[in-house]
Chains A and B, each alone.
Chain A
Amino acid sequence: MRALLDVEALSRGYGSLVALDRIDLRIGEGERHALIGPNGAGKTTLLDLVAGATRPDGGRIRVAGRDITRLGPARRARLGVGRIHQRPAIWPSLSTLDNIAVAGARRRGGFRRTLPAARELLTSLALPDVAAAQLSHGQRRQLEIAMALAGRPRLLLLDEPAAGLSAVEFAQLSAVLDDLSRTVTVLLVEHRLDLVYAFADRVTVLRDGRRVLTGTPDEIRTSSVVRSAYAEAVS
């Protein structure tokens, strides 16, 4: 499988703290890849580096063979790197529909051209068309996923999408993720391991900024190395 995301010796530190230490990661086109690990393992840092929100200290990031290491987040987004944040990032003063249309405008040739697709996403996620400020946490999460999808991403970075969701909202999120087209490659950071094992084709375990293991969900579930590195969360 051709690699859509190719991360090579990626490093990032904050002062004396090494958040990521020469990480290598290859994700194939259409693959659903999950990153797990204890808090502080470097999962969100890796997502930030791929999205361009943070600059690496060393290493290289390629998307579809193109080196994007030096590009800013907006350029990366225009190349098809979409993301949702740990805390839902939306525009509260705009309506739900306008949030989706504005988010997709740059990849779909303008705001007005994006409106039909935005309406479809709004309907498929059963979101009300109200001022986004009025949405609940779960609805904001759904909205941000719709915003990311409106940009027709080739690579979708999901940072803890299940955090803070109710049971009903979690079921809705699982359905949305299941319905994702295989044309979208996904890199998922998540603490809910039931979601990770159900969704991901492969899983990478990080600890203290280093890669412990990459394997299928079954391999990860039964790995003694993972158990010792990530004991409480996996058991």
Chain B
Amino acid sequence: MRWLIAPALLAAVAAPWLADPYTTATLARILVLGLVAVSVALLTGVAGLPTLGQTAPFAAGAYAAATLALHSSSVGVTQLLMGASVGAAFAALTVPLVVYARGVVVLMITLAIGELVVTAASRWRSVTGGTDGLAGMPSPRPLWGLPVLDTDRARYLYALAVVGIVLCAVVLLLRGPSGMYLRGCRDDEARMRASGHPVGAYLAIAYVAAGAIAGVAGSLLVTTQQYLSPADFGFDVAALLLLGVVIGGAGSVVGAIAGTAVVLAARDWLSGLLPGRGPLLLGALFITAAYVLPRFRFRLRRVVA
């Protein structure tokens, strides 16, 4: 599948010159949610902690970056750092709730965390604007001295660059011992402990790192969308992300972005072609993913091998 990377990258860079501004903005949103899906894949596929709660650090990072953009800094990199720090801090606070549970219990706990954050975002009007949302964030400049990202194309390319850098860092880390330790925890936790590995600490680090990645994505959401509302972080988004990760292959962080693109394309474009049937299409995609994909992937692996 590696031969696909170069053409996909080329297409991603060329896209804003080939597409209209609306499509470019939609692609930017796909990139942002794709980055959250990377954090979901890191936890679900690599570390074995299935999650429906990455929308929570995503929201925390987004509101923190938005507050910074509105009141203090219009430099992209400081907003990204703010998003990452707040996402990581939020994850660190919820570590004790998550990393000692396993399987479906993790799903339930993370779902609850996600829902609590959406409720808090809806009620904490002074910071989040409540259900009316938060608007008026100025376009940032990526770094001090660089021009402001004042077009959809510029904001898309900025998001592409940030997502690319974070994705490369995650892939490189997972190819090394860190990735093996996490996969070891997922494959056989007792064997990891019997070899002296502190499983709880590894999972906590992965969970905080996933929180930071989701926080960066939150900061990018502020840049690309320039409007935030609790609906951006609801259960449907969490479910779409998990579906995207399953479609992309749970253990693959690159596949997570591709899977999310497929799911969002089904939701945003296909439902436009078949008005009122968006949920039906997504339901069909869910069922297809659950029943057909494991066999399809098995066959594909045999064909590729």
A229 contacts chain B at the CB level, 8 A cutoff: no
Q: Is the CB of B188 within 8 A of A89?
A: yes
Residues of the B chain whose Cβ atoms lie less than 8 Å from the Cβ of A91: 180, 183-184, 187-188, 191
Q: Is the CB of A74 within 8 A of B198?
A: yes
Interface string of B169-188 (1 = CB under 8 A from A): 00000001100110110111
B46 to A, closest residue via Cβ: A93
On chain B, which size bracket covers the interface? 20 to 34
- Assuming the contacts A91-B188, A102-B177, asked whether A73 and B183 have C-beta atoms less than 8 A apart, the reply is no
Q: Is the CB of B177 within 8 A of A105?
A: yes
- Counting chain B CB atoms within 10 Å of each CB, which of A73, A75, A92 scores highest? A73
Q: Is the CB of A74 within 8 A of B196?
A: yes
A74 to B, closest residue via Cβ: B193
Q: Is the CB of B177 within 8 A of A106?
A: no
CB interface residues, B 186-204, toward A, < 8 Å: 186-188, 190-199
- Assuming the contacts A77-B196, A94-B183, A106-B197, asked whether A53 and B191 have C-beta atoms less than 8 A apart, the reply is no
A20 contacts chain B at the CB level, 8 A cutoff: no
CB B25 to nearest CB in A, in angstroms, measures 38
- Assuming the contacts A111-B177, A151-B196, asked whether A90 and B183 have C-beta atoms less than 8 A apart, the reply is no
A226 contacts chain B at the CB level, 8 A cutoff: no
B183 to A, closest residue via Cβ: A93
CA–CA, A78 and B199, complex, Å: 13
CA–CA, A90 and B188, complex, Å: 7
Q: Is the CB of A103 within 8 A of B195?
A: yes
Residues of the A chain whose Cβ atoms lie less than 8 Å from the Cβ of B197: 74, 102, 105-106
A112 contacts chain B at the CB level, 8 A cutoff: yes
Contact partner, A102, options B184, B186, B190, B198, Cβ 8 Å:
B184
CB B185 to nearest CB in A, in angstroms, measures 9
Q: Is the CB of A90 within 8 A of B191?
A: yes
B184 to A, closest residue via Cβ: A91
A98 contacts chain B at the CB level, 8 A cutoff: yes
A82 contacts chain B at the CB level, 8 A cutoff: yes
CB B161 to nearest CB in A, in angstroms, measures 31
CA–CA, A82 and B177, complex, Å: 21
Q: Is the CB of A77 within 8 A of B190?
A: no
A51 to B, closest residue via Cβ: B194
Q: Is the CB of A82 within 8 A of B193?
A: no
CB B282 to nearest CB in A, in angstroms, measures 30
A107 contacts chain B at the CB level, 8 A cutoff: yes
- Assuming the contacts A89-B190, A91-B191, asked whether A98 and B199 have C-beta atoms less than 8 A apart, the reply is no
Residues of the A chain whose Cβ atoms lie less than 8 Å from the Cβ of B193: 52-53, 72-74, 77
On chain A, which size bracket covers the interface? 20 to 34
- Assuming the contacts A91-B188, A92-B187, asked whether A98 and B180 have C-beta atoms less than 8 A apart, the reply is yes
A65 contacts chain B at the CB level, 8 A cutoff: no
Residues of the A chain whose Cβ atoms lie less than 8 Å from the Cβ of B196: 74-75, 77-78, 106-107, 151
A145 contacts chain B at the CB level, 8 A cutoff: no
CB A34 to nearest CB in B, in angstroms, measures 20
CB A80 to nearest CB in B, in angstroms, measures 9
Interface string of A92-125 (1 = CB under 8 A from B): 1110001000111111001110000000000000
Q: Is the CB of A73 within 8 A of B187?
A: no
CB A115 to nearest CB in B, in angstroms, measures 10
Residues of the A chain whose Cβ atoms lie less than 8 Å from the Cβ of B181: 102
CB B187 to nearest CB in A, in angstroms, measures 4
A12 contacts chain B at the CB level, 8 A cutoff: no
Residues of the A chain whose Cβ atoms lie less than 8 Å from the Cβ of B191: 85, 89-91, 103, 147
Interface string of A170-208 (1 = CB under 8 A from B): 000000000000000000000000000000000000000
Residues of the B chain whose Cβ atoms lie less than 8 Å from the Cβ of A92: 187
A92 to B, closest residue via Cβ: B187
A83 contacts chain B at the CB level, 8 A cutoff: yes
Interface string of B101-125 (1 = CB under 8 A from A): 0000000000000000000000000
Residues of the B chain whose Cβ atoms lie less than 8 Å from the Cβ of A111: 176-177, 180
- Counting chain A CB atoms within 10 Å of each CB, which of B181, B193, B195 scores highest? B195
CA–CA, A105 and B181, complex, Å: 10
CB A46 to nearest CB in B, in angstroms, measures 16
Please give 20 more A-B residue pairs, beta carbons under 8 A apart, in addition to A73-B194, A85-B190, A102-B197. Answer: A51-B194, A72-B193, A74-B198, A74-B199, A77-B196, A85-B191, A90-B187, A93-B183, A93-B186, A94-B180, A94-B183, A103-B195, A105-B177, A105-B197, A106-B197, A107-B196, A110-B177, A111-B177, A111-B180, A151-B196
16 CB < 8 A contacts A-B: A51-B194, A52-B193, A74-B197, A85-B190, A91-B183, A91-B188, A92-B187, A93-B187, A94-B184, A102-B180, A102-B195, A103-B191, A105-B197, A106-B196, A147-B195, A151-B195
Interface residues of A (CB under 8 A from B): 51-53, 72-75, 77-78, 82-83, 85, 89-94, 98, 102-107, 110-112, 147, 151
* Nearest 7 pairs of A and B residues by beta carbon: A106-B196, A77-B196, A111-B177, A89-B191, A91-B187, A78-B196, A73-B193
